[in-house]
A and B are shown apart, each in its own frame.
Chain A
Amino acid sequence: MAQGVDLILVLAMLLNFLVLGSSRLRACIRAVAFQGVLLSILPLLLHQGGLAVHMVALSAGMLTLKGFLFPWLLLRTLRDGSMRAEIEPLIGFTASLLVGAIATVAAFLLSSRLPSLPSLTSSLLVPAAMATLLISLVVLVSRTKALTQVLGYLMLENGIFLFGLTLVQSMPLLVELGVLLDLFAGVFIMGIVIYHISREFDHIDTYHLTILKD
């Protein structure tokens, strides 16, 4: 059980690096989707003493939204927006990978300073959550395409979800479902907005928005 949780968390951390290092937008979307699917298994593994209904509901909601709906929406936007499926980052790929490695090390150092909860099943949970959070912030600031920023938000939510899992016994279902709903609305609107922006301006590079004048 603990081995399985560790394996999932390590895979999730590696997917962070895949998002940082890949220049293909499609691969990034798939990686984030796969991360969501992996994390949706965790509540079932972490919950001790039988399967609670709200845990199953949370897993199922997470799986459908992050594993199927979001990637489908994003891939559709990518296709219909007829944008270039390559990323041009502000920071180079090698440098982003190094920043990601530093972020992961920092996450491990930070989490070793935190007081550990007795209910933690896996000692990797907090570092993995922090690493995902930090790397999602790197993705948010260093990638200029609007679509990659949506991916950054999704990774950020994955990290928050991992943090939430440390309180898995007492986490209210409503809070997590509310976050998922917000995210759903966010991605949905982003999908439509990006589509319209790209039809209107034939690119979705947010870098150009910084030099807007009235």
Chain B
Amino acid sequence: MSAIQLLWSLGLVIGGPPLLLGVIHKTKAILTGRIGAPVLQPYYDLWKLLQKGAVYSRTTSWVFRAGPLVSLAAFLTAALFVPLAAPSTLLSFWGDVVLWAYLVGVARFITVLAALDTGSSFEGMGASREVTFASLAEPALLVALAVIAKVTGSVQLSEMFGPVLGSAWRTAGPALALAAASLFLVLLAENARMPVDDPTTHLELTMIHEVMVLDHGGPDFAFILYGSALKLFLFGVLLVRLLMPVHIGVPWMDLSMLITGLLGLAVVIGVVESSMARLRLIRVPQLLVTSGVLAAVGLLLVWR
């Protein structure tokens, strides 16, 4: 990987994520007949939060302060494994897909711990919901990744989402389509998108992700917002790579295709969010189990 390509990739990972949120919000605004906030609003929000100081409760310990930092670090590390511009990634080894899945898990774990550390029953409720749904979303994610691994014959993210995938679509199209559908549902659930969770309202009946971060403020909250945008970005990259397995070979063209795909995905998420109502909390496990079942059927199709 050349130096210029490296810079491009790093720039995309660091600068790109909030833009996705901005596009989603803009799409929702347009579809509901509003003008909406500027597309760059998430950047302004982050900047505003970074200017502030933080207030810590005396009942909290170091875990509460470590939460945002560790989760952001985990997401940034996970970003190094995701193939962005080219098939090659910044960091890579055989079997890194498991590490990738569990780096996302570490971020969730520390967020849950930080929420429990506040001692607030409200945050404990959110943590409990988060863990319940994660325990259903994680198998779905891993099985969907297993489908891709089986089809491409590799357990390395850079190869799984590399050029092999294009020819795999011709031989195992249905299974890959099922994996993609499953990944999309997991993406919606993991990133607090609409049918599962709505990050823009604060309604205690159904809120999951944002209830855990209510006590964070200032730079800590900025880290959390940025981390969740990065998480959406990472899942989005995998989904776009899966759905558009075309490799031209010219780095900047591949990169611009990826960016186009990501923006398209953001618009799709926006459309899904504005056309669907939020599910009752009791129906969310059903959605996640559906996602797992889709992936499992996909795995069956390729494993026969």
Residues of A within 8 A of B (CB): 3, 6-7, 10, 13-14, 17, 21, 93-94, 97-98, 100-101, 104-105, 108, 112, 123-124, 127
B174/A104 in contact, CB under 8 A: no
Bound Cα distance A3, B285 (Å): 33
Residues of B within 8 A of A (CB): 173-174, 178, 283, 285-286, 289-290, 292-294, 296-297, 300-301, 304
Bound Cα distance A98, B290 (Å): 9
A10/B301 in contact, CB under 8 A: yes
Contact partners of B286 in chain A: CB under 8 A: 21, 93-94, 97
B290/A97 in contact, CB under 8 A: yes
A105/B300 in contact, CB under 8 A: yes
A–B Cβ pairs within 8 angstroms, 7 of them:
A10-B178, A17-B290, A17-B297, A93-B283, A93-B286, A101-B292, A105-B296
Task: Given A101-B296, A108-B300, A112-B304, verify A7-B290 contact (CB < 8 Å).
Answer: no
Cβ 8 A contact of B294, one of A14, A105, A108 = A14
Contact partners of A100 in chain B: CB under 8 A: 293
Bound Cα distance A101, B286 (Å): 13
Q: How far is the CB of A172 from the nearest CB of chain B, in Å?
A: 31
A-B contacts counted at CB < 8 A amount to 45
A10/B174 in contact, CB under 8 A: yes
Residue of A nearest to B172 (CB): A6
List the 9 shortest-distance A-B pairs measured between CB atoms, nearest first. Answer: A10-B174, A101-B293, A94-B286, A94-B289, A93-B286, A97-B289, A108-B300, A94-B285, A101-B296
Contact partners of B285 in chain A: CB under 8 A: 94
Bound Cα distance A127, B293 (Å): 16
Q: How far is the CB of B293 from the nearest CB of chain A, in Å?
A: 5
Bound Cα distance A112, B301 (Å): 12
The residue among B178, B286, B296 with the most chain A CB atoms within 10 A of its own CB is B286
A14/B297 in contact, CB under 8 A: yes
A101/B297 in contact, CB under 8 A: yes
B290/A21 in contact, CB under 8 A: yes
Q: How far is the CB of B188 from the nearest CB of chain A, in Å?
A: 16
Bound Cα distance A13, B178 (Å): 12
Q: How far is the CB of B159 from the nearest CB of chain A, in Å?
A: 25
Q: How far is the CB of A99 from the nearest CB of chain B, in Å?
A: 10
Q: How far is the CB of B230 from the nearest CB of chain A, in Å?
A: 31
Contact partners of B173 in chain A: CB under 8 A: 3, 7
B297/A104 in contact, CB under 8 A: yes
Q: Name 18 extra pairs, CB < 8 A, besides A17-B290, A21-B290.
A: A3-B173, A10-B297, A14-B294, A17-B294, A17-B297, A21-B286, A97-B286, A97-B289, A98-B289, A98-B293, A100-B293, A101-B296, A104-B296, A104-B297, A105-B300, A108-B300, A108-B304, A123-B304
Q: How far is the CB of A96 from the nearest CB of chain B, in Å?
A: 9
Bound Cα distance A172, B296 (Å): 36
B297/A13 in contact, CB under 8 A: yes
Task: Given A3-B173, A93-B286, A97-B286, verify A17-B301 contact (CB < 8 Å).
Answer: no
